Amino acid sequence: MGFGKKNQLVGVDIGSFAIKIVEIEQTKKGRSLKNFGRIGLPRNAIREGDIVEQKVVVKALRTLFKNLKISNRNVSVALSGYPVMAKRITLPDSGRAQIEATIQDQAEQYIPFDINDVNLDFDILEGEKTLSEDEDANEGKSLEVMLVAAKKDVINAYVDLLAAADLSPGVLDVDVFALQNAAELSNADEEDGYAIVNVGAEELGINTVVNGTSLFSRDSSFGGTQVTDLIMSHFDVDFERAEEIKLGEGKEEAWGQKLETGVSGVISDWTQEIKRALDFVETTYPDKTIGIIFVCGGSCRVRGFQEYLASQTDLPVVELNPFSTLSSNKNLFDEEYLKQMAPQACVAVGLALRSIDDK
């Protein structure tokens, strides 16, 4: 995650209902938060990772960069949702050159899209240090590989969006890996493996990590919008007010038994999805241990969620704070504000840790 000033990128997290931007500066004393800002997006401007209203999103990007007075136009952006897939797979150890030459054919069985419609990338996870270029030396061995596939039309849409906003894409990342970067920055001393649960507006992302390597990740079509819709209906309020009520901001409203029951049902669904992922990891990797769950995302503070998740998994549940190890100018950043916004900033911080020369 090291980076030099010339290769520095601005982390831009384009979410379903908001854009978050983070700029990190490398100083002699370590990493420092140089810029952080957030701007809301109309509902359905971004839908399930697809850019629906490009002009609206471009205007928001331009406004946020202008308001924050950011001169660096080189950015790192994450893709998420159904158009992107990240999967740990096992391949015959046929040598690095041979894997690179045949990865498209080998990967086709794992990709839920037409192989011709995606861009592929991969990273060797285990055995990298001993991997030989000699195929005969590797015969009978297997190799753990992280395979990433993203639909070409989605990639092109994001590149076009950034160009329209006068921004240059230095890195197109995947949100699950950006979150992992943020978690590693904030919890470098964590000995046990951990799970990162990202509760977004329209997506519940789960990633399990042991020794710095992702074991299993998945995205589900759950999210905070489920709760927001329940609140809108119950109180007969607009989306913005429902969001405030959901997160306990502004005037407190008495929820009532019907709403409490509805929200409890949503939280139960989220938790069961998370438990299924943890159970899969426990069964598939019996020698690996998940010792803690880090939660993040704009809806991770829905009332009762963290407590219920902890009770159902018997694991500590802690909010991920990507600002905790970054120094910041107290005259520019209010400490309480950063703490309040921390769960929403995780992807943007992880993206801001990338640099132009990253692979």
Instruction: From first to last of the 359 residues of the chain, give the pLDDT tens digit.
Output: 444 566 889 999 999 889 999 999 988 888 999 999 999 998 888 887 788 999 999 999 999 999 999 999 999 999 887 788 888 888 777 766 777 777 878 788 888 888 889 998 888 875 444 444 444 544 557 788 888 999 999 999 999 999 999 999 999 999 999 999 999 988 755 667 999 999 998 899 999 999 888 999 988 989 999 999 999 999 999 988 998 888 877 666 788 899 999 999 999 999 999 999 999 999 999 999 999 999 999 899 999 999 999 999 999 999 999 999 899 988 899 999 999 999 999 999 999 999 876 65
In the β-sheet with 193-199, what is the strand arrangement from edge to edge? Answer: 213-220, 204-210, 193-199, 290-296, 317-319
Domain assignment present for residue 100? The answer is no
- Sign for the CA dihedral angle at 281, 282, 285, 289 comes to positive
Q: What pLDDT score was predicted for residue 131?
A: 41
Token digits for 321? 């704070």
Residue 219: how many other CB atoms lie within 10 Å: 24
Distances in Å between the Cα of 239 and the Cα atoms of 46, 134, 169, 282, 326 are 15, 59, 32, 39, 33
Residue 204 φ then ψ, to 5°: -110, 110
CATH number where 228 lies: 3.30.420.40
Domain assignment present for residue 223? The answer is yes
pTM > 0.85: yes or no: yes
Domain assignment present for residue 272? The answer is yes
Contacts for 4 with CB less than 8 Å, ≥ 6 apart? 26, 355
Domain assignment present for residue 69? The answer is no
* DSSP three-state, residue 146: strand
- Smallest CA-to-CA distance from 149 within 179, 184, 181, 109 is with 109
How many domains does the chain contain in total? 1
Q: What pLDDT score was predicted for residue 243?
A: 87
Domain assignment present for residue 287? The answer is yes
| Cα gap 321→182, rounded to integer Å | 8
Domain assignment present for residue 344? The answer is no
| Cα gap 353→355, rounded to integer Å | 7
* DSSP three-state, residue 102: helix
Beta bridge partners of 76: 11, 171
Could you tell me if 111 and 85 are in contact, meaning their C-beta atoms sit under 8 angstroms apart? yes
Domain assignment present for residue 197? The answer is yes
Q: What pLDDT score was predicted for residue 256?
A: 87
Token digits for 140? 């009978």
Q: Residue 311: is it exposed, middle or buried by C-beta count within 10 angstroms (0-12/13-18/19+)?
A: exposed
Let me know the angle formed at the C-alpha of 352 by 96 and 52, rounded to the nearest 5 degrees.
90
Domain assignment present for residue 292? The answer is yes
The boundaries of the domain holding residue 295 are 190-319
